[in-house]
Structure 1
Amino acid sequence: MRKVYVLIKCELGRAYEVAEKLGWLERGPEVDSISGEHDLIARLYLEHDEDIGRVIANEIHAVPGIKDTQTLICFKAFSKDEGPKAE
């Protein structure tokens, strides 16, 4: 699985409405409201052979109230369990 984050700018006053609609998508991304340049961040898990552009265009961009998105593709996760081994 590939982890993808989508930063989302919403039309004024519609961030909560957009977040709720995103949460009800079949894929059900995890959505958080954030501060700064974007209003929301959504985390998706995609199969390696899935077309990211089609998922974003057909599922995310289809939600009314979204003004702009920026997609971030994760290459490798680093965590305590997956980090370098001590010798």
Structure 2
Amino acid sequence: MADAIVLISAESQKINEVAQSIVEIPGVKDVYSVAGDIDLVAVVSAAAFDDLTDIIPGGIAKVDGVLSTQTLMAFKTYSRKEMKAAFELGLD
């Protein structure tokens, strides 16, 4: 499994349309509208690392209104739910 967080700058008058288009791309789990230097954050998940090229530069970056993207690759996921389950099983 390959996960990534994509920071997206978009044309200000097209943010809602851009977000709607991006969330429809297979592999995009969620899209958040955020405050700050970027406009949107997309959470992406793919079966393999190579699949991310279809989703991010081949999909997200090509959406009309996207000005730029920055991708953060996830190495390990920490989740309260997973940690709780591990403790309940007695795993360290």
With normalisation by structure 2, the TM-score equals: 0.78
Deviation at 1:50, TM superposition (A): 1.9
Query: What secondary structure is seen at the aligned counterpart in 1 of 2:36?
Result: coil
Query: What secondary structure is seen at the aligned counterpart in 1 of 2:59?
Result: helix
Runs of at least 4 residues of structure 1 off by over 4 A? 83-87
Deviation at 1:82, TM superposition (A): 3.3
Tell me which protein shows more helix as a share of its residues.
2
Deviation at 1:29, TM superposition (A): 3.3
Q: Aligned residue for 1:44?
A: 44
Bigger relative contact order, structure 1 or 2 (CA pairs below 8 A, ≥6 apart): 1
* Cα pair 2:8 2:68 within 8 Å, conserved: yes
Counterpart CA distance in 2 for 1:77 and 1:39 is: 24
Does residue 6 in structure 1 map to residue 24 in structure 2? no
Deviations 1:36-55 (A, max 9, x none): 01000000101234253443
| Correspondences of 1:1-87 after superposition (within 5 Å) | 1-80=1-80, 81-82=82-83
Q: Report which of the two structures shows the higher radius of gyration computed on alpha carbons.
A: 2
Counterpart CA distance in 2 for 1:28 and 1:74 is: 14
Change (3 A) 1:15 1:45: same
Counterpart CA distance in 1 for 2:51 and 2:2 is: 11
Query: What secondary structure is seen at the aligned counterpart in 2 of 1:25?
Result: coil
Structure 1 vs Structure 2 CA RMSD: 2.3
Gaps in structure 2 of 5+ consecutive residues: none
> How many residues align structurally?
87
Query: What secondary structure is seen at the aligned counterpart in 2 of 1:14?
Result: helix
Counterpart CA distance in 1 for 2:4 and 2:37 is: 19
